[in-house]
């Protein structure tokens, strides 16, 4: 097969079950060999000195794929630290933790995707591989079926890493609460929903730190994900944890995706705190500590969030979708002298400067639990911090398919047409921070800046995602109807979803 079809941004991902499986053990073995060769070249070291950490989430294909990657690594002459069940953020932390410190690490996961898919995420102590490095890795894998000259095969050493990662999170709790107490979370009630992914151990961590975890659910790893999708953006998943929090009378609930690089929380009243609310909550905490800081988000964040951050003395910096894009931009801004403590997507990917700018949902939740403990002592909840966040009356996301063979050119042509029209129409205001696609704001029904839409190219797919929000009833339909009039004659677009939205 064409291995390049497995590339998904900076990851490898594909169907791993069935006769039409793309990510097979054979392919995984070749990728293991390729990663060993890649690291040896990148670090200018002999293969016998290359050590690679391997871990997986709960997917049913995880054990076989992990073994295959390990076989590929050792076949090349490099060695393996096998961590077993793990999380994606923990895989990175292994590379900077004394006593482990592999040259690189591979996480076997497909994140929030269905049970029959799987993937590989590659990291070094410098962070995740860039897209160009994944391209190089695939090139190496395409020739990795040939015999690799190794005087001696490497070895596999079982070294569970999660106990060490748990201690690191526990240390963050005690540091945040300025205490050495054995049970610093005594009196806090936390419901944990792991979605049958790799994060069930977090309930054990909370209990060890003194929190009550009654009502926690779906903690056991089960790669079929029988209860709900392991996805903090999934409505069914969020409804499940909200219900559990209310039923248990907990102070808050936390939910992870399968590999725990994304998370969301639920307040004591069952209110979901994800997407813009989650960004607002973290911004409130960080800006209370140090006003004037810059919060980097993806491009689809709301106008209400922008006002919320500004009101707290912060700067809201919208950037391109894609968690690597957001993180890299935050790092760049800090190098230029800005104070930027957080890079976060509405999807729940969040990276803190204090934590290596690693997108770690579990670390994020740990910071929030520290704040929840402080607030409980004052008789407050996390929701109190975002009580003044203005939320839209209406919001929608539509995905417009691109049927043209050169989908990027066709999509960009539509975006350019919208930009050109906006430049000549006084009622369409191009956003001053338009860094991806085209974001247009509107003054609806005599109001001011009370509606917007963003049309952009998908990072990977032949799709134009369209997001729209309005502060007045019927505003979304008004804006989408106006957009349709501008792009209705664009070739190579499937506008049926847009037509349905304005009927």
Active-site residue list: 111
Cβ(288)–Cβ(341) below 8 Å = no
Q: Classify strands 358-359 and 394-402 as parallel, antiparallel or unpaired.
A: unpaired
- Counted residue by residue, the chain has a size of 503
Cα four-point dihedral sign 126, 176, 231, 271: negative
87 vs 56: CA distance, rounded Å = 7
382 vs 444: CA distance, rounded Å = 33
32 vs 45: CA distance, rounded Å = 17
99 vs 161: CA distance, rounded Å = 10
Burial of 448 (0-12, 13-18, 19+ CB in 10 A): exposed
Q: Count H helices, E strands: the chain?
A: 14, 23
Single out the residue of 222, 216, 215 nearest to residue 202, CA to CA.
Answer: 216
SS3 at position 263: strand
Count other Cβ atoms within 10 Å, centred on residue 328. 18
Question: Which DSSP state fits 349?
Answer: B
**Chain centroid to CA 116:** 20
Cβ(108)–Cβ(62) below 8 Å = yes
Burial of 163 (0-12, 13-18, 19+ CB in 10 A): exposed
Question: Which DSSP state fits 212?
Answer: B
Single out the residue of 257, 255, 260, 302 nearest to residue 279, CA to CA.
Answer: 302
SS3 at position 453: strand
CA terminus-to-terminus distance, the chain: 44
352 vs 174: CA distance, rounded Å = 18
Give, for 331, the enclosing helix (H) or strand (E): helix 323-335
Question: Which DSSP state fits 233?
Answer: T
What residues form DSSP beta bridges with 52? 80, 104
């Amino acid at each position: 097969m064409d291995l390049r079809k497995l590339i998904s941004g900076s990851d490898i991902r594909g169907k791993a079950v069935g006769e039409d499986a793309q990510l097979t053990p054979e392919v995984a073995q070749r990728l293991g060999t390729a990663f060993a060769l890649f690291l040896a070249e990148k670090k200018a070291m002999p293969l016998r000195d290359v050590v690679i950490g391997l871990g997986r989430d709960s997917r049913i294909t995880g054990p076989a794929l992990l073994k295959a990657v390990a076989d590929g690594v050792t076949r090349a002459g490099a060695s393996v630290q096998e961590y077993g069940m793990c999380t994606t953020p923990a895989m990175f932390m292994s590379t900077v933790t004394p006593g482990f410190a592999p040259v690189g690490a591979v996480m076997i996961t497909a994140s929030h995707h269905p049970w029959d898919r799987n993937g590989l995420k590659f990291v070094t102590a410098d962070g995740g591989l860039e897209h160009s490095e994944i391209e190089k890795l695939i090139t190496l894998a395409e020739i990795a079926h040939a015999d690799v000259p190794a005087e001696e095969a490497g070895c596999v050493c079982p070294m569970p890493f999660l106990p060490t990662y748990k201690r690191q999170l526990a240390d963050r709790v005690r540091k945040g609460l300025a205490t050495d107490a054995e049970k610093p979370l005594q009196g806090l009630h936390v419901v944990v929903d792991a979605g049958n992914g790799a994060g069930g151990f977090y309930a054990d961590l909370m209990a060890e730190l003194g929190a009550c975890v009654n009502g926690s659910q779906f903690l056991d790893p089960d790669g079929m994900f029988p209860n709900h999708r392991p996805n903090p953006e999934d409505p069914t998943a969020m409804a499940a944890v909200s219900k559990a929090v209310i039923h248990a009378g907990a102070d808050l609930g936390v939910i992870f995706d399968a590999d725990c690089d994304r998370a969301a929380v639920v307040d004591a009243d069952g209110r979901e705190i994800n997407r813009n609310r989650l960004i607002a909550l973290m911004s409130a905490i960080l800006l209370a500590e140090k006003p004037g800081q810059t919060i980097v988000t993806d491009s689809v964040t709301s106008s209400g969030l922008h006002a919320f951050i500004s009101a707290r003395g912060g700067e809201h910096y919208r950037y391109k979708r894609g968690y690597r894009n957001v993180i890299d931009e935050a790092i760049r801004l800090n190098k230029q002298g800005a104070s930027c403590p957080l890079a976060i997507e509405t999807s729940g990917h969040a990276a803190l400067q204090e934590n290596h700018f690693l997108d770690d949902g579990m670390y994020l939740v740990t910071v929030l639990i520290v704040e929840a403990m402080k607030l409980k002592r004052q008789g407050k909840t996390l929701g109190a911090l975002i009580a003044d966040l203005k939320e839209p009356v209406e919001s929608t996301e539509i995905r417009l398919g691109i049927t043209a063979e050169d989908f990027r050119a066709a999509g960009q042509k539509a975006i350019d047409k919208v930009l050109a029209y906006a430049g000549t129409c006084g009622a369409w205001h191009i956003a001053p921070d338009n860094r991806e696609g085209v974001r247009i704001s509107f003054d609806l029904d005599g109001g001011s800046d009370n509606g917007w839409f963003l049309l952009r190219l998908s990072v990977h797919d032949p799709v134009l995602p369209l997001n729209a929000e309005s502060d007045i009833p019927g505003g979304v339909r008004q804006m989408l109807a106006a957009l349709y009039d501008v792009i209705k004659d664009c070739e190579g677009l499937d506008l049926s979803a847009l037509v349905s939205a304005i009927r």
